[in-house]
Amino acid sequence: MFLPQEFISKKRDNLPLSDDDIRAFVAGIKDGSVAESQIAAFGMAVYFNGLSMDENVTLTLAMRDSGRRMRWDDLGLDGPVVDKHSTGGVGDVVSLMLGPMVAACGGYVPMISGRGLGHTGGTLDKLSAIPGYDPFPSADEFRRLVKEVGVSIIGQTDDLAPADRRFYATRDITATVESIPLITASILSKKLAAGLDSLVMDVKTGTGAFMPTLEKSIALARRIVEVGNGAGVATSALVTDMNQPLATTAGNSLETIEAVRYLKGEHRAARLHEITMALCAEMLIAGSLARDEAEARGKLQHALDSGRAAEVFGRMVAEMGGPADFMDAPERHLEAAPIIRPVYADRAGFVSSMDTRGLGMAVCALGGGRRQSGDTLDYRVGLSHFVELGQSLTLETPLAMVHAASEESWQEAARRVRASVALADEAPTVNPLVHRIIRRDAI
C-alpha cells in the first residue's frame, strides 16, 4: 500500500525514490488522494535535496502520462514534429516568427504556449490580441491544423499534464517554484505530451530572466537537455541573453505587429533576428532538416525572403478564426492605445545597464501584463522604440515610447522606464546574444 508520508520522508532524508512510488505519488496528485499539504512537503524536500537524473526522468514521464498524449504517426507527415520553448522574458516574440519559419522549411510545429505572468509576456496573449483567434481548438482540429498548415499555436488544455497543473499551483504558493528538477519536470511534461520528435529550449539569463544568474541558467539548461533526452526526445538548449528587451516592443498588440513586420521583411531588429535564426537553425538541425548551421540559415532566409513564412503565419491566423487579411494590415485589426508619447532620461550618456524585469513591470503597470493569473489585459498598451545597451543618448533621445490608456498610467510607466535604464559616461561591454549551446553529446 502506497503511503504519501512515507514517500515524502524518503526524499526528506535524501533516500532514493522508486519509479513505482513516484508514479503513485503523481497519480495521487491527479486524483486528489494526495493532499495539498503533502504536495507542498514533497516540493520543499526536493527544493533542498534535489532529484537524481533517473528520478527526474520518471517524475517527468509520470506527469506527462497523467493526461492526454498527442500522436502524429498516423497522419503520414513528411517531416519531423519539432518545437521550441522559452523560459520567458521581455519582448520575447520569437515563437510567432519561429513556428512559421520552421514550418516553411518542412517541419511540423505543434506549439502549446502559455499566458504571461508578472514581468514576462506570454505567446498566447500576443495571439489572443488578434480578433477572432481561437487558441483552444479541439484535439482533432489541432492535429488537422498542424498537418495542413505546418504550425498551430494553442493554449494548454485541461487534459494536458493535469498533475503538473496542480503541482505547480501548490509550488507557486509554497516558495518552491525555483527548484531546477521541478522546473524541468514541469516544462518537459507538457512538451513531451505534445508527441515531439525534438525540442529546443531557449533558457534566458540576465536581468529579465527567470533564473537569476548565468550559472543557474546553464544548470537549468543542462538538466532539461539531460532529462529530455532521457525521456526519449532529442533535446538541446541555447542559453540566451535577457539583459535588455529582445524585440523593439513589449506589449501584446505591439509585439504581434512587430512579428508581422519581421516576417514580411519590413523591419527585422538585429538582436531579435539573430536569436530567432539561432533557435530555428537548431530546430532544423535537430529535426534532420539541415546538415549544419550554414545550411539551416540558408533555408530559413529563403523562407523569409520568398514570403513563404509570412504566408504560413497568415494562414494559421485565418484557420484559427482570425482575419483573412491580417498580414496585409495588422494595425487595422489591432487597436492602438489612446496615449502614445516618448519618455526621456534626465541626462545624456551611454546606456550602461537595464533592469529588464523593471521594464516588463512597466508594461504590467499599463495593464498589459498580469499580477495575478485572472487579470484582464489591455492588449493596446506597452512600450516601443527601446534604446539599446551601449547606445549614446542625448537629452532629445527617447528611452522608449509609452503606449498608455490613461495619463495616470502613462506617468507611472514613464517613472518605471526611467528607473530601469541606467546611463554612464562610457559605453559598457555588451554580453553575447547566445552564451552557450548545450546538446546531449556535450554534457
3-class SS shares of the chain: helix, strand, coil, % to 5: 45, 15, 40
Positive or negative, the CA dihedral 131, 132, 138, 144 is negative
| Contact predicate 226/191, CB 8 Å | no
DSSP-derived secondary structure for 287-350: TTS-SSHHHHHHHHHHHHHTSHHHHHHHHHHHHTTS-TTTTT-HHHHSPPPSEEEEEE-SS-EE
- DSSP at 440: G
How long, in residues, is the chain?
443
Burial of 319 (0-12, 13-18, 19+ CB in 10 A): middle
| Contact predicate 234/268, CB 8 Å | no
- Per DSSP, helices labelled H in 106-149 are 123-128, 139-149
φ/ψ of residue 352, rounded to 5 = -95, -30
Q: What distance in Å separates the CA atoms of residue 194 and residue 113, rounded to the nearest whole number?
A: 11
Other CB atoms within a 10 A radius of the CB of residue 399 amount to: 24
Identify any residues that bridge with 110 across adjacent strands, giving them in sequence order.
Answer: 152
Burial of 418 (0-12, 13-18, 19+ CB in 10 A): middle
Sorted by sequence, the CB contacts under 8 Å of residue 185 that are 6+ apart come out as 56, 59, 60, 63, 164, 227
Nearest alpha carbon to residue 95 among 232, 283, 321, 243:
283
Q: What distance in Å separates the CA atoms of residue 430 and residue 424, rounded to the nearest whole number?
A: 14
**CA angle at 267 for the pair 264 and 268, rounded to the nearest 5°:** 95
Residues known to be catalytic? 83-86, 123, 171, 186, 190-191
| Torsion-angle region of 106 (φ positive above 0: left; ψ -120 to 50: alpha; else: beta) | left
**AA identity, residue 349:** G
| Contact predicate 120/88, CB 8 Å | yes
Nearest alpha carbon to residue 94 among 149, 44, 153:
153
